Chains A and B, each alone.
Chain A
């Protein structure tokens, strides 16, 4: 089975085309159906993607890793109390729970330049793998330009807009949200970064945000993502806005 030359399998004679695309081409067939190996390959990829969505992120562990790197943290939660509600009620995932709001208030509210929010989103695996290493590159850069920064807020069951409430609480000019992206079969661990200038709860919309998508091992590297983000920060400070009117003019090599 491992070489797909078991009886009845008809391999496709255009195997060499596979080099041009990540698509599942030249799978061969048994009768007109998928050979066992191709079927199980698919099941494996789907299982990885499903687990990325459904396995909860270990927030305590992530917090520990960040503290070890010298970053202060705060663990918060959205109004979506469980995964099923989170998936069906995006509106609740955009708001902080009552206890998290109290928790924020206790943490003080000195006006700051930027907030950093990390949300599990739709892939806990993405955040588990990429949040800490990326922040360890980003935070020193922010400190270099003397930006004030409250604790990194880690939000359970959070959507992108949950960052707006955090930014509002700290009267922050900039809001950076790291979030697990909707997993594809070939990228279960993709992280996205959303950047909003003057983010405010219930006021900021998708059109006000810039997105740096596809951060994973076969996608955008941490350094490429960092370069774009630093460009956006600088440009937004100048234009005093973000979103559709702020274009990313860095030239990051497209990945084919």
Chain B
């Protein structure tokens, strides 16, 4: 069924799953899994065949068996046929043409999102160049709210990530203040705790709540502990704004994370119950990344990008405030170099946006990947041109707890300056009110510590070493 002849060679791809994997632009994780195309010609042959596959076929041929996998069941049972109608007659190749055409406006794409399955979106992305991924993603608009408004046109938000190797409160506070004074933190102030235990999580949650309350910052907090830890924190009355969880695209991979759809649903309801959002109730924060299913040996012979997009079906079920693809974190056995990381980041952003998710990207790499700051600048800039919802803000781009390189406060300011991107409106107002930004959203020179922080910084310097 999935056959073609090119250069006197016959290519016969046995299944849609096999075809998808062979059509995927080259990346190390698919070679590791043994599912990648053997050579360039086989890859292009697969892309030609894939372009002729009707979108409807993705509703008939499940890539991971329906009976075995609750993510497949979520995708198939939740598919909106009415929304799908506008493109239901198209092949994957025609779908690409349509997405790039003037017919696919912001309003049309927004209405289409529930009619798309992750597999359709992954398929079309495999026959799109970087500029196609950027052009279409830029047309998508996904707006979410908790204490501010994220995802408006020509806006870019930042997650302030004040991690510390031992969760020392003074250490966290030092990075937190540094970030706020550089205008960072409207997506979320989100800490990765050094250890996933309840005590540490509770301490950090209370600390962030106090900071947001004391300075009346229009933003939300998150401690990125396991969802079960956060549920315990909620049960103890802790001030939880956003519930965090890493998610993947197959049931088995989610098993390895110690989660399932029921558990996520329970956490979502618990956070909704708290009702801590003032402008909206998007209260989930998800992280994903290509390669997670393979690393859990739970990829079912699928390529890693298709697995990744299936995770977005899990995400959209819970109306998240933010979804973050942590693209270069997993290492060179999945994404080998800057070229692979850049393409993966833009694919993830495109696929997430098309499915209606508030996609941001942790533009990042590890020291054993063939990548450097120049590669990060390329992805950072291209992501922002594509309308990326948010990026990370890590002091000097060096995360001293997780030992990887992400993006810095300076990086966000660079994007604001060259592309005219503003923070979330409520946060922008706060930055201007406290003379961190001027009316044109330029960082104001600080000759001394701003009055707002003076007293608490004095306290911190006096007591910091005791805490």
Interface residues of A (CB under 8 A from B): 10, 12-14, 16-27, 29, 31-34, 38, 42-43, 45-46, 49-50, 52-53, 87-91, 122, 182-188, 254-256
Asked if residues B168 and A13 are in contact (CB atoms below 8 Å), the reply is: no
A32 adjacent to B461 (CB under 8 Å):
no
What's the Cα separation between A20 and B178 when bound, in Å? 12
Q: Is the CB of B368 within 8 A of A122?
A: yes
Question: By the criterion CB–CB under 8 Å, are B177 and A254 in contact?
Answer: no
A121 and chain B: residue at smallest CB distance: B368
Cβ of B197 < 8 Å from any Cβ of A?
no
Bound-state Cα–Cα, A209 to B294, Å = 21
Known: A16-B461, A33-B410, A42-B373. A21 touches B174 (CB 8 A): yes
A186 to chain B, nearest CB (A): 6
| Structural contact, B445 and A38, CB atoms closer than 8 A | no
Kindly state whether residue B152 has any CB partner on chain A within 8 Å.
no
By beta carbon, the residue of chain A nearest B28 is A88
Q: Contacts of A185 on B, CB cut-off 8 Å?
A: 367, 398, 400, 403, 405
Indicate whether B93 reaches chain A with its CB closer than 8 angstroms. no
Q: Given that A50-B367, A53-B368, A87-B333 are known contacts, is A21 also in contact with B457, CB under 8 Å in the complex?
A: no
B98 contacts chain A at the CB level, 8 A cutoff: no
Cross-chain contact of A91 among B32, B164, B414 (Cβ < 8 A): B32
Show 15 residue pairs from A and B whose CB-CB distance is below 8 angstroms, ordered by the A residue. A10-B445, A12-B446, A17-B460, A19-B464, A19-B465, A23-B398, A23-B400, A32-B443, A42-B396, A46-B405, A88-B336, A183-B368, A184-B404, A185-B367, A256-B171
Q: What residue of chain A has the Cβ atom nearest to residue B412's Cβ? A: A32
Contacts of B396 in A (CB 8 A): 23-25, 27, 34, 38, 42
Among A14, A46, A89, A182, point to the contact of B178 (Cβ < 8 A): A14
Q: Which residues of B contact A49 (CB under 8 A)?
A: 367
Are A184 and B400 within 8 A (Cβ)?
yes
The answer to whether A187 and B168 have CB atoms under 8 Å apart is no
Answer whether residue B5 sits at the interface, using C-beta atoms and an 8 A cutoff: no
Chain B residues near A25 (CB-CB < 8 A): 174-175, 178, 395-396
A20-B170, A24-B398 given; A12·B181 CB < 8 A: yes
Q: Known A-B contacts: A14-B457, A27-B410, A88-B31. Give 7 more (CB < 8 A).
A: A32-B416, A42-B398, A53-B368, A88-B332, A122-B368, A184-B367, A184-B403
- A20, B168: Cβ atoms closer than 8 Å: yes
For the complex, is B366 an interface residue (Cβ under 8 Å from A)?
Answer: yes
Q: Are A14 and B177 in contact (CB under 8 A)?
A: yes
A183 / chain B contacts, CB cutoff of 8 Å: 367-368, 403
A17 lies within 8 A of B445 (CB): no
B357 proximal to A (CB < 8 A): no
Q: Which residue of A10, A17, A33, A91 contacts B177 across the interface (Cβ within 8 Å)?
A: A17
**Known contacts A20-B460, A23-B174, A87-B368; is A13 also within 8 Å of B336 by CB?**
no
6 closest pairs, A vs B, by CB?
A24-B396, A184-B403, A32-B413, A21-B171, A17-B174, A25-B178
Pairwise interchain contact A256-B413, C-beta atoms closer than 8 A: no
Interface string of B438-451 (1 = CB under 8 A from A): 00001101111100
Please, which residues of chain B bring their CB within 8 A of the CB of A13?
446-449
* B397 touches A (CB below 8 Å): yes
Q: Which of B171, B177, B367 neighbours the largest number of chain A CB atoms within 10 Å of its CB?
A: B367
Distance in angstroms from B286 CB to nearest chain A CB is 24
CB distance from A4 to the nearest CB of B (A): 14
Determine the chain A residues whose CB is within 8 A of the CB of B442 once the complex forms: 32
The yes or no answer to B173 lying at the interface (CB within 8 A) is: yes
List the B side residues contacting A31 at CB < 8 Å: 417
Does B213 make an interface contact (CB < 8 A)?
no
Assembled-state Cα–Cα distance A23/B406 (Å): 13
In Å, the complex CA distance between A13 and B453 comes to: 12
**How near does chain B come to A25, taking the closest CB pair, in angstroms?**
4
Measured CB to CB, the nearest residue on chain B to A17 is B174
A33 vs B414: C-alpha distance when bound (angstroms): 7
Knowing A13-B446, A42-B373, A256-B168, the reply to whether A24 touches B368 (Cβ < 8 A) is no
Verify A255–B166 contact, CB threshold 8 A. Answer: yes
Max chain B Cβ within 10 angstroms of own Cβ: one of A17, A26, A89, A188: A17
Beta-carbon contact of A20 and B464 below 8 Å: yes
A46 touches B372 (CB 8 A): yes
B332 touches A87 (CB 8 A): yes
* Cβ-defined partner of A89 (8 Å) among B166, B333, B368: B333
Is B165 within 8 A of A256, CB to CB?
A: yes
A18 and B174 contact, CB distance less than 8 A: yes
Is B173 in contact with A45, judged by CB distance below 8 angstroms?
no
**Residues on the A chain within 8 Å of B366, using CB:** 182
User: Contacts A27-B410, A46-B373, A187-B403; is A182 near B174 (CB within 8 Å)?
Assistant: no
- Please determine whether B443 and A186 come into contact, CB atoms closer than 8 angstroms: no
Q: Chain B residue with minimal CB distance to A45?
A: B398
B171 touches A14 (CB 8 A): no
Q: Which of B381-407 contact A (CB under 8 A)?
A: 394-398, 400, 403-405
User: Closest residue to B29 on the A side, CB-wise?
Assistant: A88
In the bound complex, CA of A24 to CA of B394 (Å): 9
Cβ of B228 to closest chain A Cβ, rounded Å: 16
